[in-house]
């Protein structure tokens, strides 16, 4: 039995989709435990390019059970679109895809509130995707949310919509001068969603407990990244859920003693989408080069990602709060041809040196990064599958990352395709503590 949690160690977009896709080959069950359709995982294999927003990328393997846990905010219309897209491409899902009956549903009014609220913030916008994720989690915590199991009970569903719209419509009209919704239109749409998704809605914690009992290998995947976690991220420029490893337990109904290891995925440099502090951000030709070579455009929104040097303050913090047992370094090949590389080892603010992540947003926004300079490599690493074949300068760079993070590297991605990966150790082995 093995249970591996895969988390992003930066601000998301680290390439978790490819890593999870690669590891899913050796797993029996793949579980998404938080977030919503505001996340995007891109997987490229011999069947083509697939962009997933909700369904775990492991669905591309035959015989794997893929699960959405209770911590995921479900947009049923978008989910059905993904399922239809898989069917169109000849990928049969059938009974090997399950959704937790306790997962909360994103309603049309959540999207309306999300977009109106972000627009009203003006210069204070945080960069939300407008997919309704935040308002759906607000309703969850306010105990007025609608859950996937409610879609299967027409009377309960209609009553909840009716009760919610009394307040929601008044809120939209009076605060944002926006249109309200009718009970019948939402009820009819979401009841139909429920009927189509009925075969997939299940008691996921019970399903996972039985999988553990059978000794199966379970892979937990999170969306976004550590520094977008609602508690431990660069608040308020964060997502609305627990994207750290602890979210795997609360978002799936699995106890912490069942988790065997935690793999942190990090780019060989740093990126961020949307607003918020970014100490190592580059506003020069090097940042532009990283963006172009790395194809740094969001899988969900298409927005350009901000690019900067690798930040070890961020990474050390991710190692600590997630309990990372190993790292997967992605997009190493994007650094090919850089004569000189910088690694951020600390921040300086008002004469004070910070080696660990400050919680104060003002410090993060105004600090000056402290860099170590390293010689780059001019060789092409794209597609390499052997660590020994890497340029010596690349090995020194990776060794320094291990040293500064105090975490071993298990995997190195050298390209976008599944087989363009160096696997030093399989993290699903979970034998090394």
The gap from C-alpha 198 to its chain's centroid, in whole angstroms, comes to 26
CA–CA distances in Å: residue 366 to residues 21, 121, 375 = 38, 22, 28
Catalytic residue check, 41: yes
Average pLDDT over residues 271-288: 95
Question: In 3-state terms, what secondary structure has residue 157?
Answer: helix
Question: What pLDDT, on the 0 to 100 scale, is given for residue 60?
Answer: 87
Residue 383, classified by CB atoms within 10 Å of its CB into exposed (0-12), middle (13-18) or buried (19+), is: middle
pLDDT digits (tens, 9 = 90+) for 380-406: 999 999 999 999 999 999 999 999 999
Kindly state the helix (H) or strand (E) to which residue 201 belongs, with its residue range: strand 201-202
Q: What residue ranges do the domains of the chain occupy?
A: 2-103+201-258, 104-196, 266-320+327-429
Share of the chain above pLDDT 70, in %: 94
First to last CA, the chain: 15
Give the whole-angstrom CA distance, residue 152 versus residue 355. Answer: 52
Closest CA to 416 of 41, 7, 30: 41
- Asked if pLDDT for residue 211 goes beyond 50, the answer is yes
CATH homologous superfamily of 2-103+201-258: Adenylosuccinate Synthetase, subunit A, domain 1 (3.40.440.10)
The sign of the dihedral angle between the CA atoms of 306, 311, 316, 319 is positive
CA distance 405 to 409: 10
Does 217 or 41 have the greater pLDDT score?
217
How is residue 64 annotated by DSSP?
-
The span from the CA of 138 to the CA of 128, in Å, is: 15
pLDDT for residue 345 is more than 70: yes
Rounded CA gap, 92 and 84, in Å? 10
Judge whether residue 286 has pLDDT over 50.
yes
Q: Return the pLDDT at 92.
A: 82
pLDDT band at residue 433 using 50, 70 and 90 as cut-offs: very low
3-state helix/strand/coil string of 15-61: CHHHHHHHHHCCCCEEEECCECCCCCEEEEECCEEEEECCCCHHHHC
pLDDT of residue 127 exceeding 60, the answer is: no
* Nearest Cα to Cα of residue 64 among 24, 94, 91, 33: 24
**Ramachandran class of 12: left when φ > 0, alpha when ψ lies in -120 to 50, beta otherwise:** left
Instruction: Give the model's pLDDT for residue 124.
Output: 58
**Pick from 106-120, 223-237, 307-321, 360-374: least confident:** 106-120
Sign of CA dihedral 141, 263, 331, 232: positive
- Among 21, 28, 41, 227, the active-site one is 41
Question: What is the mean pLDDT of the segment spanning 170-188?
Answer: 92
Percentage of residues in the chain with pLDDT exceeding 90? 80
Q: Does domain 104-196 bear CATH number 3.90.1010.20?
A: no
User: Which structure tokens are listed for 58?
Assistant: 């492991």
Handedness of CA 416, 420, 425, 430 (dihedral sign): positive
pLDDT of residue 201: 98
Distance in angstroms (rounded) separating the CA atoms of residues 268 and 145: 39
Kind and range of the H or E run holding 163: helix 154-176
Give 26's strand partners.
Answer: none
| pLDDT above 70 for 171 | yes
Identical fold, 104-196 and 266-320+327-429: no
Residue 149: C-alpha distances to residues 111, 129, 330 (Å): 21, 26, 38
Q: Which of 51-65, 313-327, 329-343 has the lowest mean pLDDT?
A: 51-65
Q: Which of 13, 28, 229, 311 is catalytic?
A: 13
Element holding 315 (H helix, E strand): helix 312-322
Q: How far is CA 9 from the centre of its chain?
A: 10
pLDDT higher than 90, residue 301: no
**Average pLDDT of every residue of the chain:** 93
Q: Tell me if residue 360 is catalytic.
A: no
Give me the mean pLDDT over the 326-334 stretch: 98
Question: Which one, of 363, 357, 373, 367, lies nearest residue 405 by Cα?
Answer: 357
> Would you list the DSSP string of 88-134?
HTT---GGGEEEETTPEEPPHHHHHHHHHHHHHHGGG-----SSSHH
pLDDT top residue among 80 and 301: 80
CB distance 29 to 219 below 8 Å: yes
Residue 429 tokens, joined: 């082995």
State the fold for domain 266-320+327-429: Adenylosuccinate Synthetase; Chain A, domain 3 (3.90.170)
Position 358 confidence tier, pLDDT thresholds 50, 70, 90: very high
């Amino acid at each position: 039995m093995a249970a591996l949690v895969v988390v992003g160690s930066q601000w998301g977009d680290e390439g978790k989709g490819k890593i999870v896709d690669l590891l899913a080959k050796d797993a029996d069950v793949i579980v998404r435990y938080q977030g919503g359709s505001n996340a995007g995982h891109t997987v490229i294999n011999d069947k083509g390019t697939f962009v997933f927003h909700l369904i775990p990328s492991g669905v591309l393997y035959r015989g794997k059970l893929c699960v959405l846990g209770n911590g995921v905010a479900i947009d049923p219309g978008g989910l059905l679109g993904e399922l239809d897209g898989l069917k169109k491409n000849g990928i049969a899902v059938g009974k090997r895809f399950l959704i937790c009956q306790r997962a909360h549903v994103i309603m049309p009014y959540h999207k309306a509130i999300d977009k109106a609220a972000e627009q009203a913030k003006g210069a204070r916008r945080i960069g939300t995707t407008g997919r309704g994720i935040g308002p759906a989690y607000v309703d969850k915590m306010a105990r007025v949310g609608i859950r996937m199991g409610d879609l299967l009970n027409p009377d309960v569903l209609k009553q909840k919509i009716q009760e919610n719209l009394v307040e929601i419509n008044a809120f939209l009209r009076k605060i944002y001068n926006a249109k309200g919704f009718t009970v019948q239109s939402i009820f009819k749409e979401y009841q139909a969603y429920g009927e189509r998704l009925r075969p997939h809605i299940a008691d996921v914690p019970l399903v996972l407990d039985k999988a553990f009992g059978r000794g199966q290998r379970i892979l937990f995947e999170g969306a976004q990244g550590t520094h977008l976690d609602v508690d431990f991220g660069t608040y308020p420029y964060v997502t609305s859920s627990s994207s750290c490893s602890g979210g795997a337990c609360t978002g799936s109904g699995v106890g912490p003693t069942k988790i065997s290891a935690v793999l942190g995925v990090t780019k060989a440099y740093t990126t961020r989408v949307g607003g918020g502090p970014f100490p190592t951000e580059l506003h020069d030709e090097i940042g532009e080069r990283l963006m172009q070579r790395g194809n740094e455009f969001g899988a969900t929104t298409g927005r350009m990602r901000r690019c900067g040097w690798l930040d070890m303050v961020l990474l050390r913090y991710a190692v600590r709060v997630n309990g990372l047992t190993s790292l997967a370094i992605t997009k190493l090949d994007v650094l090919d041809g850089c004569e000189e590389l910088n690694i951020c080892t600390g921040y300086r603010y008002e004469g004070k040196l910070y080696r660990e992540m400050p919680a104060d947003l003002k410090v993060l926004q105004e600090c000056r990064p402290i860099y170590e300079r390293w010689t780059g490599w001019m060789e092409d690493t794209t597609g390499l599958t052997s660590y020994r074949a890497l340029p010596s300068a690349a090995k020194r760079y990776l060794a320094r990352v291990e040293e500064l993070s105090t975490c071993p590297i298990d995997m190195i991605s050298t390209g976008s395709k599944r087989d363009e990966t160096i696997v030093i150790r399989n993290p699903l082995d979970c034998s090394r503590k």
